[in-house]
Amino acid sequence: MVNVATATSRVRVTVDGKGFRLGAAKFHAKGVTYGPLAPGADGTPFATPEATRRDFSLIVDLGANLLRVYHVPPRWFLDLAHEHGLKLLVDVPWNRQQCFLDAPATRRELVESVRQAARRCAGHPAVFALSVANEIPADIVRWSGSEAVTAFLDELIRGAKAEDPELLCTFGNFPTTEFLRAEAADFLCFNVYLHDRQPFENYLARLQMLSDTRPLMLGEIGIDTVREGEERQSEVLRWKIESAFRCGCSGVVVYAFTDEWWNGGRLVEDWAFGLTRADRSPKPAFETVRRQFAVAPYFPLPASPKVSVVIASYNGATTLKTCLQSLEHLNYPDYEVILVDDGSTDATPSIAALFPGIVSLRHPKNLGLSAARNTGIEAATGTIIAFTDSDCRADEDWLHHLVGDLLRSRFTGIGGHNLLPPDDSPTAAAVMVSPGGPAHVMLNDRVAEHIPGCNMAFYRWALREIGGFNPIYRKAGDDVDICWRLQQRGYQIGFSPAGFVWHYRRNTVAAYLRQQTGYGEAESLLERRHPENFNRFGGSVWHGRIYTSAKIGVETRRPVIYHGIFGSAPFQSIYTRDASLTLVVGTSLEFHVLVTLPLLVVSAVVPFVWTLGVASLVFSLGLCVTAALQAEIPASKSRFWSRPLVALLFLLQPIVRGWARHRGNLLGNQTPLSARETLDSLSLADRGEDLDHLLYWAEQGIDRMTFLAHLLERLDALGWQNKPDAGWSRFDVEIHGSRWSRLQLLTAVEFHEGGRRMLRCRLRSEWSSFARVVFATVAGTLLVFIGIWSRLPFPEPSIPPSPLRFWPWLSLLLLWPLAWKLNAAKRDLHRLVAAFLDGCAKEFRFVRVPRSGE
């Protein structure tokens, strides 16, 4: 079994989302560490070619496809590995136990040693990746500073890539210094020695959050047979390999192939991590690892319930074909694909016709995203319904990981990453790191508060229990609403780090701003349905951490890292701080309107104020520039104009999205006329009756919350816009009529003898926010007109005074018909809601009691 190298094995391994790819096929690293061994005649810590060949035969028999070596191997070693179809993760050896950054000469020597290693490995098909460091001690990191060490790691990686741009690079990390971030690293490589299954899996979930959109590889897992015994080693490695791949790791490396280990100028004999003994006789763990490597990475799922994949598409012909092609060959045994064409006017129908294996449905006109997804739910026959978008391309293992993580948990729904496709444009890359893109929000390492709609799956029974998606969300916001509604029912939503899709971003500034406009409109709708999740300015309030490629704020503070006697404590990144939210405030529409603009306007009258106005404007622009400089743009997509574009988008996005949100709050809070006409206000017995306080008598007890739940359900069914109490409001529900009026309803129940009850309803109608803005604008305009008119030069007053000076004041009388119209709208809404309450009361067999009969 020597000449197993194929044409495919000559291709370099590349990063592919959360994993690796070798040519057209995925590459799942299944490896062992090898050496260092006792130095041979040439002084290198490798065995002779003959002994190495025998070892490689055993390693191939193990089912491994990767070796991790801790010295740069000679050429013959590389050739022999390639001959056996093995890839090499090569560590560059250097003394990490010393304060290597204190001496500039030492720093230069280390950079040159990494470059030499890269030159020796450059272009060789056996090389998987280069590790520029391994387990830098925590006290050394704290001595030099984590930022300085991170910068040095990036410098080492850039030096290696200068010699071979296609060479994958990483560094070996471990829990004590998990806060180190090398942005230039292609993937994360962690050495993890936890020997209890649940803590091990919990830590892998944590590492997946740290790795975010990059692959996570376990560079060392192992257990010492001297202290733990050979049977314990076999059992622990069995579940470690399985857990690693189930948790979405891109590969594992078992430490070590053999007990023979040369360290510190001698053979180490007081510990034994090898799968074979020093004489290469296999331990029980050898056969265990061989069985696990034969199954990995696709360990059987607990079950394989049918999955319905729903794609809602409106004029998505540009990427629809790519999307449907990716769904044809998913690594999952039982699924169907349902395409809902939401009234597209482009080539969507003709593209759908090219895929006879999918279920294709079409709306005669555009009904909106939520309605299209509801159509898909109704047509679905699967136990689980997964959703993605027509501008996405699914990874072939998408459902395998998504469903597997869902079945192994108590989650009701689950989501995953949406990554920038390698073939997307540089403009799309700039959009990706700009604010407002689809992101997941995590409450902890496993539980999500929100998952993006382009990659989510739920049990069908849960979607039906809450009535599916709310049709009011036509463009966006449906995924946020569905997550919050499920959580309000007590259900949890999870996150699958390996279940990802490729998501094409907007390719023009105009398309990006249109998307943000839709998001702003959706936020105004969400605020009405979920006011408890918004602040007083209409901004969403998240309880979890937002994971996105864009900076949520400017980074102004260092991570909190233990020093002193606590400096060696693991799990340090739990103390990292998020970016400052100053950016969110300093670039918001509210900041521009309430701070910058007034200062600039006042400066026209008060000259010295202009400096404050300019300073406010410079502050906002400076935040945008800083955010653009901190943006992590993929190197392959970065252009000279990328960061200026990101700064521009950071400036425009809050303005466009904020305006859309406020416009929605002012103009969107109205019940359509068709819905208002479903009630007959003339059905009330007495037109002159006081409708501010309604009383209903119940012979049989009724729970107030049951009545309110029914009331809200009826309002939604009739299309009436409403806003439930957020928990601290002075009303139970706020009902919106036309754009001019709204009404607040407060209820209370009195308990009487015999189980009878009195339901009290207090109705308070008022002008809407839009009506108040209109009235204030008209009044302000008239007052400005009067002020200007009073300053005009007129002839000396005559006896009696000239009426020209006073007639503008009569223009204020124009406010009277406006106020009358607004009050009329308020009265109409009042009567309509009273009639609505009468109808609901009749359904519960309540009897209206006049106030005089209390």
Q: What is the pLDDT of residues 93-122, one digit of tens each?
A: 998 888 899 989 999 999 999 999 999 999
State phi, psi for 294 to the nearest 5 degrees.
-70, -30
Between these two residues, 352 and 765, which has the higher pLDDT value? 352
The confidence score (pLDDT) of residue 354 equals 95
List strand residue ranges (DSSP E) for 439-509, in order. 440-442, 447-450, 455-459, 493-495, 501-503
Of the candidates 144, 110, 145, 115, the one whose C-alpha atom is nearest the C-alpha of residue 130 is 115
For 797-811, what is the mean pLDDT? 55
Do the Cβ atoms of 31 and 189 come closer than 8 Å?
Answer: no
Among 145-149, 320-324, 554-558, 797-801, the range with the most confident prediction by mean pLDDT is 320-324
The confidence score (pLDDT) of residue 8 equals 38
The confidence score (pLDDT) of residue 669 equals 60
Determine the 3-state secondary structure of 699 from DSSP. Answer: coil
Do the Cβ atoms of 384 and 466 come closer than 8 Å?
Answer: no
Token digits of residue 796: 């000396």
Token digits of residue 75: 């050429």
Please name the amino acid found at residue 141: V
Token digits of residue 205: 């979930």
pLDDT for residue 426 is more than 50: yes
pLDDT band at 676 (very low <50, low <70, confident <90, very high): low
**433-454: per-residue pLDDT in tens?**
888 888 889 888 899 999 999 9
Between these two residues, 806 and 310, which has the higher pLDDT value? 310
Do the Cβ atoms of 417 and 213 come closer than 8 Å?
Answer: yes
The confidence score (pLDDT) of residue 371 equals 94
* CA atoms lying within 13 Å on the CB side of residue 690: 10
Q: What is the CA radius of gyration of the chain?
A: 33
Class of residue 126 by CB neighbours under 10 A (exposed 0-12, middle 13-18, buried 19+) = buried
State phi, psi for 566 to the nearest 5 degrees.
-95, 5
pLDDT band at 839 (very low <50, low <70, confident <90, very high): confident
The confidence score (pLDDT) of residue 2 equals 35
Do the Cβ atoms of 423 and 503 come closer than 8 Å?
Answer: no
State phi, psi for 593 to the nearest 5 degrees.
-75, -40
pLDDT for residue 687 is more than 50: no
**129-155: per-residue pLDDT in tens?**
999 999 999 889 888 888 899 999 999
Return the bridge partners of 310, or none. Answer: 338, 387
Q: Worst-scoring range by mean pLDDT, 61-75, 197-211, 818-832?
A: 818-832
Token digits of residue 233: 């080693």
How far is the C-alpha of 849 from the C-alpha of 853, rounded, in Å?
6
Q: What residues contact 783, with CB distance under 8 A and at least 6 apart? A: none
- Give, in degrees to the nearest 5, the angle at Cα 528 between 525 and 531: 120
74 DSSP 8-state letter: P
**241-282: per-residue pLDDT in tens?**
999 999 999 999 999 999 998 887 788 888 899 999 999 999
How far is the C-alpha of 294 from the C-alpha of 311, rounded, in Å?
35
The confidence score (pLDDT) of residue 324 equals 96
How far is the C-alpha of 289 from the C-alpha of 285, rounded, in Å?
6
The confidence score (pLDDT) of residue 582 equals 55
Q: What is the pTM of this model?
A: 0.81
The confidence score (pLDDT) of residue 668 equals 61
* CA atoms lying within 13 Å on the CB side of residue 636: 11
For 459-481, what is the mean pLDDT? 92
pLDDT for residue 575 is more than 50: no
Give percent of the chain with pLDDT exceeding 70: 87
Return the bridge partners of 362, or none. Answer: 341
Average pLDDT, the chain: 85
How far is the C-alpha of 371 from the C-alpha of 138, rounded, in Å?
54
Of the candidates 254, 289, 291, 288, the one whose C-alpha atom is nearest the C-alpha of residue 273 is 254
Count of beta carbons in the 10 Å neighbourhood of residue 490: 7
Q: Worst-scoring range by mean pLDDT, 189-198, 283-292, 542-551?
A: 542-551
How far is the C-alpha of 773 from the C-alpha of 520, rounded, in Å?
20
pLDDT for residue 58 is more than 90: yes
Between these two residues, 843 and 537, which has the higher pLDDT value? 843
The confidence score (pLDDT) of residue 377 equals 96
The confidence score (pLDDT) of residue 564 equals 45
The confidence score (pLDDT) of residue 649 equals 93
Give percent of the chain with pLDDT exceeding 90: 51
pLDDT for residue 556 is more than 60: no
Between these two residues, 335 and 769, which has the higher pLDDT value? 335
HEC letters along 830-845: HHHHHHHHHHHHHHCC
**737-764: per-residue pLDDT in tens?**
777 788 888 888 888 887 788 888 888 8
How far is the C-alpha of 646 from the C-alpha of 629, rounded, in Å?
9
Between these two residues, 417 and 775, which has the higher pLDDT value? 417
**168-206: per-residue pLDDT in tens?**
999 999 988 888 889 999 999 999 999 999 999 999 999
pLDDT for residue 806 is more than 60: no
How far is the C-alpha of 254 from the C-alpha of 34, rounded, in Å?
10
Of the candidates 74, 152, 49, the one whose C-alpha atom is nearest the C-alpha of residue 109 is 152
Of the candidates 629, 598, 634, the one whose C-alpha atom is nearest the C-alpha of residue 616 is 598
pLDDT for residue 634 is more than 80: yes
Q: CA-CA-CA-CA torsion for 207, 211, 213, 218, nearest 10 degrees?
A: -70
Place of tokens 């998307």: 515
pLDDT for residue 562 is more than 80: no
Q: What residues contact 380, with CB distance under 8 A and at least 6 apart? A: 308, 310, 336, 338, 460
DSSP states along 774-801: HHHHHHHHHHHHHHHHHTS--PPP-SSP
How far is the C-alpha of 661 from the C-alpha of 663, rounded, in Å?
5
Class of residue 139 by CB neighbours under 10 A (exposed 0-12, middle 13-18, buried 19+) = middle
Please name the amino acid found at residue 375: T
71 DSSP 8-state letter: S
How far is the C-alpha of 612 from the C-alpha of 610, rounded, in Å?
5
